[in-house]
Amino acid sequence: MTQGTVRWLLLHTADSLTGGEAAGEPIWFTRGASGEYRGIVAIPVDAGDSVRVSLFLTREDQVDTVLVTLAVTAGNYPRETITVAPGFAKPNAAAAARIQRENARSRQVSLASRSQPRHWGGPFQVPRTARITSAFGAARVYNGAVRSRHTGTDFAGAVGAPVAAAGRGVVALVADFYLAGRAVYIDHGAGLVTAYFHLSRADVAQGDTVVAGQPIGGVGQSGRVTGPHLHWVARYGTISVDPMSLLHLEKGGADSVAKPSD
C-alpha cells in the first residue's frame, strides 16, 4: 500500500470478524460469498513504512484483538511553489477564525459518514475528463514558506465547465468557504466522502442523492485560487487520501491481503 491512498483489505479467517481499526479510523467489514471479509483501509500521506491494523475477532464467545502490519511504500510527492496575496497566505485573525469554523463543519461531514451505510457500488470515476494541473500530495510552498500539503487533485477547466459526482452518494454539504470557495461534499457512506472545491455554482442541494457521472456544479475560481480549476478531494473518515486511488475501488476488487495469526 502507498502513502495517501485508500485500498481494500481482504481478510481470510475462520473466526467471526466484528470490526477493525487502522490509523485511527474504523474499518467496516462485509463478508463475501466465499467467506472472506472485505473492508476499506486508508493510509495517511505521512505514514511511515508500515501501518498497524487492529482486527476484532470473536473466538469462543470472546472478542480478541489481533494485530496485522501492512507494509507502506513512499508516495514520493513533489513540492510546489505558489505566490498568492499575503492575506490568503497568512489570513488575519478574523479569517483564521472563519477557517477554523469551516474546517469543523467539513470534519463533521466526515465523522458523520462513519455511521452511514455504504451508498456506492461499482467503480468511481473522475469528476472531469480534463488535464490534471496539480496532483495529490505535493508540499505547498506559499510565498517562500511551506504552509500545507496539497490534499486533492486539480483539474483544468474554464469557469462554468461541468463537474460530475465521482460516485453514488448523498450531498452532505453545500457551502461557501474561505479557502475552498463554493464547495459540494458528497457522503458515499461507511466513512468515505468526496468534495469538489472552487466551484462557480452548485447544481445540487444538501440531501440530494446523486449517482456517478451526474452533474453537480461548474468549475470556478472561488476561494483561495490562482485561477479557475476544480480541486477534487477524497477522505476516509478524517484521513485525506489521493482521490485518484478511488478509481481502484471497483466492486469486488481487493488490493491488500491479510491473514491474522493465532
pLDDT at 14: 77
For 210, the domain range is: 79-247
Say if residue 54 is in the same domain as residue 169: no
Query: pLDDT band at residue 262, thresholds of 50, 70 and 90?
Result: very low
Say if residue 58 is in the same domain as residue 96: no
Contact yes or no for 8/253 (Cβ under 8 A)? yes
Count of domains for the chain: 2
- Only one residue has cell 470515476, namely 125
Q: Summarize pLDDT for 81-93 with one digit per residue, the tens.
A: 666 666 556 778 9
Segment among 46-60, 121-135, 162-176, 191-205 with least mean pLDDT: 46-60
Q: For the domain that residue 221 is a member of, what is the CATH number?
A: 2.70.70.10
Say if residue 207 is in the same domain as residue 150: yes
Residue 1 in domain: no
Contact yes or no for 61/70 (Cβ under 8 A)? no
Say if residue 107 is in the same domain as residue 37: no
Q: For the domain that residue 24 is a member of, what is the CATH number?
A: 2.60.40
Choice between 191 and 80, residue whose per-residue pLDDT is larger: 191
Say if residue 104 is in the same domain as residue 129: yes
Say if residue 97 is in the same domain as residue 217: yes
* Angle at 232 (CA atoms; ends 93, 140), nearest 5 degrees: 50
Q: Summarize pLDDT for 5-57 with one digit per residue, the tens.
A: 999 988 888 788 888 999 999 998 888 877 889 899 999 988 888 999 999 98
Say if residue 55 is in the same domain as residue 88: no
Pick from 10, 8, 6: nearest CA to 257: 10
β-pairing verdict for 201-202 and 162-164: unpaired
pLDDT at 144: 62
Query: pLDDT band at residue 252, thresholds of 50, 70 and 90?
Result: very low
Say if residue 10 is in the same domain as residue 94: no
DSSP 8-state class, residue 220: B
Contact yes or no for 164/113 (Cβ under 8 A)? no
The three cell numbers of residue 247 are: 478509481
Q: Summarize pLDDT for 189-248 with one digit per residue, the tens.
A: 999 999 999 999 999 999 999 999 999 999 999 998 889 999 999 999 999 999 999 998
Say if residue 202 is in the same domain as residue 144: yes
CA dihedral 6, 205, 110, 210 (to 10 degrees): -30
Say if residue 105 is in the same domain as residue 14: no
